[in-house]
């Protein structure tokens, strides 16, 4: 496995691989790798000849310096996990390599980033869009794989690639969960034992809403009431947002529901000492039974971007 630290070296390798007619897949990460990241590598391997993974904690997507400082870092363990997963090359640049002195260029996606996480983290998606653009230009991949846990981020990246004409396929990968339903996240490492016990309330809330929709509930207010009630059972949990959105446009879902809808959650768990705690996100696409039947019928036309995800 090759470890690369400069953009120039990565671009040269990409040029050589492309000249040899080999497909490149990129898995962008901020490290602290877990089984969810390994699943992205597996999907990448099924779609390409070479699998590259980036390890870079991007400072521009953090709204608070303290949050950046607390982000888990485990570089040696991450490299070992990459070797075990069969990654061909790891791109691990220094901050100065990605943001040279005097950097003043940003990439921004306007509408898709206004709500949900963008409402409370105004600079976050500008940082994500910028670093993803830099990684795509550095690695020149044919395909890049992102997890669906960060649903808004995935929608934004798809829009960015379309709008800026990047020659790359963006693939969304299903959420990987712990046995108790908690979505795998690098931030889970910052959960103390009691908060970890309460954290699956997000998954339970999603399940409660899914059951209700399957039973015929279509009222948005009632579904969000069920979500709030489930999360309210966790004493340390405070809802940042719980919203129903169109899975493609991220616009507010119609009420009552008539088609698949994204239920997106962000919950902050307060630390017992009054510190800011840990913020977790999760989501699920709720599909009313009639919509499920319609979505399963592919004869009407090509699949949507959502349906193309593995």
Are residues 131 and 248 both part of a single domain? no
Residue 98 pLDDT level (bands cut at 50, 70, 90): very high
How many folded domains does the chain comprise? 2
Are residues 108 and 144 both part of a single domain? yes
The residue-averaged pLDDT of 270-297 equals 78
- Catalytic residue among 37, 124, 142, 225, which? 37
Give CA–CA dist 287/211, Å, rounded: 10
Whether residue 247 is predicted with pLDDT greater than 70 in this model: the reply is: yes
R_g of the chain computed on alpha carbons: 20
Are residues 168 and 195 both part of a single domain? no
Are residues 119 and 229 both part of a single domain? no
Give CA–CA dist 115/241, Å, rounded: 10
What is the pTM (predicted TM-score) of this model?
A: 0.91
- Structural domain of residue 30, as residue ranges? 2-173
The residue-averaged pLDDT of 43-66 equals 96
Dump pLDDT digits (tens) for 133-154: 999 999 999 999 999 999 999 9
How far, in whole angstroms, is CA 3 from its chain's centroid? Answer: 24
Whether residue 273 is predicted with pLDDT greater than 50 in this model: the reply is: yes
Are residues 40 and 70 both part of a single domain? yes
Are residues 139 and 214 both part of a single domain? no
Judge whether 182 lies within some domain.
no
Judge whether 299 lies within some domain.
no
Three-state DSSP string of 40-98 = HHHHHHHHCCEEEEEECCCHHHCCCHHHHHHCCCCHHHHHHHHHHHCCCEEECCCHHHH
Are residues 26 and 159 both part of a single domain? yes
Are residues 20 and 139 both part of a single domain? yes
Give CA–CA dist 145/173, Å, rounded: 7
The residue-averaged pLDDT of 301-308 equals 38
Judge whether 302 lies within some domain.
no
Give CA–CA dist 215/212, Å, rounded: 5
Segment among 118-132, 190-204, 268-282 with least mean pLDDT: 268-282
Judge whether 54 lies within some domain.
yes
Residue 310 pLDDT level (bands cut at 50, 70, 90): very low
Residue 37 catalytic?
yes
Per-residue pLDDT, 122: 85
Judge whether 160 lies within some domain.
yes
Q: Which residue has the tokens 């008539």?
A: 258
Per-residue pLDDT, 278: 94
CATH number of the domain to which 161 belongs: 3.40.50.620
Give CA–CA dist 43/41, Å, rounded: 5
């Amino acid at each position: 496995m090759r470890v690369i630290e400069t953009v120039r070296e990565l671009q040269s390798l990409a040029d050589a691989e492309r000249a040899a007619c080999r497909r490149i897949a990129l898995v962008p990460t901020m490290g602290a790798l877990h089984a969810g990241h390994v699943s992205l590598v597996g999907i990448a391997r099924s779609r390409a000849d070479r699998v590259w993974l980036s390890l870079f904690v991007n400072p521009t997507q953090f709204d608070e310096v303290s949050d950046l400082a607390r982000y888990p870092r485990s570089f040696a363990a991450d490299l070992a996990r990459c070797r075990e997963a069969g990654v061909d090359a790891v791109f691990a640049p220094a901050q100065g390599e990605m943001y040279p002195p005097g950097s003043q260029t940003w990439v921004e996606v306007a509408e898709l980033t206004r709500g949900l996480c963008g409402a409370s983290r105004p600079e976050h998606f500008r940082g994500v869009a910028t670093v993803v653009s830099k990684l795509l230009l550095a690695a020149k991949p044919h395909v890049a794989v992102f997890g669906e846990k960060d649903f808004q981020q995935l929608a934004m990246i798809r829009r960015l690639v379309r709008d800026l004409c990047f020659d790359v396929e963006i693939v969304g990968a299903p959420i990987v969960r712990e046995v108790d339903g908690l979505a795998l996240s690098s931030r889970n490492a910052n959960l103390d034992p009691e908060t970890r016990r309460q954290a699956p309330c997000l998954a339970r809330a999603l399940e409660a809403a899914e059951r209700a929709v399957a039973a015929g509930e279509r009222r948005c207010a009632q579904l969000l009431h069920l979500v709030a009630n489930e999360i309210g059972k966790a004493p340390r949990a405070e809802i940042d947002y719980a919203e129903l959105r169109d899975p493609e446009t991220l616009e507010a879902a119609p009420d009552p529901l008539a088609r698949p809808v994204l239920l997106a959650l962000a919950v902050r768990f307060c630390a017992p000492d009054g510190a800011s705690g840990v913020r977790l996100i999760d989501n699920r696409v709720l599909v009313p039974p009639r919509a499920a039947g319609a979505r399963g019928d592919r004869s009407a036309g090509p699949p949507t971007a959502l349906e193309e995800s593995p």
